[in-house]
């Protein structure tokens, strides 16, 4: 099912539908097998769910919001080590591909076996500790909780407040990263950018051209910051797990290439962030609110026309 609002449904009904869709999709991925690809897909669904709940937070009861978010956080944590092992292999491939013109044949060949072994170990742990079963149980609990939840308000008063908070948090995270390019600050900025991207995807029907363009920018931003974080994880992995099996010269050469690539990614991310977060949160959300109201009024007009047609048929 599409991760978008429907014009004719209430906000409460949208919350329940979207939550159920995402949980069912995640459970389907888990059912396909305890693989690292499934782990990655499930974690994406968890991120979509968290973005949805944060968008709806101003209208949710505190107990419903906290209970659902705690379970989603725990579900993501269960899969965290498996995800980290998976991305380190991909990150090494990205570095080698980016600098292939500067490297000889089969560069850093001794690093890959150790990284792949870490992936195999994590896949075994998924089975041994029944992690997929745990995550499935947590996701079903989230679905059940939200199925019975109702929003205290409907429509834009809820969505506008949630969106404004997300945009403001992202803008703050961008400014912190601008002042200090620490892995922690960059990772927090990435989380905020991804969350806003998912929320704009939900709102895409109200203004498709502009919101699809904004989504593409946030996707690019998330890719830059995500690749940077994966390279940070790769550095830790090769220093901790591979240094005893490789020469110090090769280790430092690889780490030097990682730093160079991270510098490039960070410059691209900061430049894009300066453009995207140029507006104040109030202006950004007011513009989207105007389009939300126009979009919803079309539904009201259509219902009015249908009622008039019904009256005419009765009179005839």
Q: Is the pLDDT of residue 310 over 70?
A: no
What pLDDT shows up at residue 42? 94
Residue 205: DSSP 8-state: G
In a domain, 5, yes or no: no
Is the Cβ–Cβ distance between 154 and 56 less than 8 Å?
A: no
Alpha helices in 99-206 (DSSP H): 111-128, 131-147, 156-179, 183-203
Provide the pLDDT confidence category of residue 301 given band limits of 50, 70 and 90: low
Say how far apart CA 168 and CA 232 lie, in whole Å.
Answer: 26
Is the Cβ–Cβ distance between 221 and 271 less than 8 Å?
A: no
How many domains does the structure of the chain reveal? Answer: 1
**pLDDT tens per residue, range 156-188:** 999 999 999 999 999 999 999 999 999 999 999
Is the Cβ–Cβ distance between 218 and 200 less than 8 Å?
A: yes
Nearest Cα residue to 23 out of 44, 9, 4: 44
Listing DSSP states for 242-273 in one string gives IGGGS-HHHHHHHHHHHHHHHHHHHHHHHHHH
What pLDDT shows up at residue 181? 96
In a domain, 30, yes or no: yes
Say how far apart CA 152 and CA 112 lie, in whole Å.
Answer: 53
In a domain, 314, yes or no: no
Q: Residue-wise over 80-95: b if at least 16 C-beta within 10 A, else e?
A: ebbbbbbbbbebbebb
Which CATH number is 91's domain given? 1.40.20.10
In a domain, 4, yes or no: no
pTM: 0.90
Say how far apart CA 286 and CA 202 lie, in whole Å.
Answer: 17
Range of the domain at 241: 11-305
In a domain, 300, yes or no: yes
Q: Is the pLDDT of residue 312 over 90?
A: no
In a domain, 56, yes or no: yes
In a domain, 123, yes or no: yes
In a domain, 1, yes or no: no
Q: What radius of gyration, in Å, describes the C-alpha atoms of the chain?
A: 23
């Amino acid at each position: 099912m599409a991760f978008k609002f429907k014009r004719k449904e209430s906000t409460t009904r949208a919350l329940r539908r979207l939550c159920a869709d995402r949980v069912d999709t995640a459970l389907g991925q888990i059912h396909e097998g305890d693989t690292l690809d499934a782990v990655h897909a499930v974690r994406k669904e968890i991120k979509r769910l968290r973005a949805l709940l944060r968008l709806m937070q101003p209208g949710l009861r505190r107990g419903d919001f906290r209970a659902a978010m705690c379970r989603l956080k725990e579900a993501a944590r269960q899969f965290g080590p498996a995800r980290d092992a998976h991305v380190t292999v991909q990150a090494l491939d990205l570095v080698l591909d980016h600098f292939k013109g500067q490297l000889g044949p089969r560069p850093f060949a001794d690093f890959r076996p150790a990284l792949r072994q870490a992936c195999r170990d994590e896949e075994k742990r998924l089975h041994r500790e029944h992690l997929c079963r745990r995550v499935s149980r947590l996701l079903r609990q989230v679905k059940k909780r939200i199925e019975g939840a109702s929003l205290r308000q409907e429509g834009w008063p809820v969505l506008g407040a949630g969106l404004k908070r997300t945009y403001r948090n992202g803008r703050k995270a961008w400014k912190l990263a601008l002042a200090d390019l620490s892995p922690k600050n960059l990772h927090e900025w990435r989380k905020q950018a991804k969350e806003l991207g998912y929320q704009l995807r939900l709102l895409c029907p109200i203004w498709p051209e502009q919101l699809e363009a904004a989504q593409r920018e946030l996707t690019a931003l998330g890719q830059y910051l995500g690749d940077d974080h994966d390279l940070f994880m790769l550095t830790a992995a090769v220093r901790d797990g591979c240094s005893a099996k490789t020469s110090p010269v090769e280790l430092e050469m690889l780490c030097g290439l990682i730093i160079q690539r991270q510098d490039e990614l960070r410059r691209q991310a900061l430049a894009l962030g300066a453009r995207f977060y140029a507006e104040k949160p109030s202006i950004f959300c007011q513009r989207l609110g105007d389009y939300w109201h126009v979009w919803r009024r079309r539904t009201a007009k259509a219902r009015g026309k249908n009622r008039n047609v019904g009256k005419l048929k009765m009179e005839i």
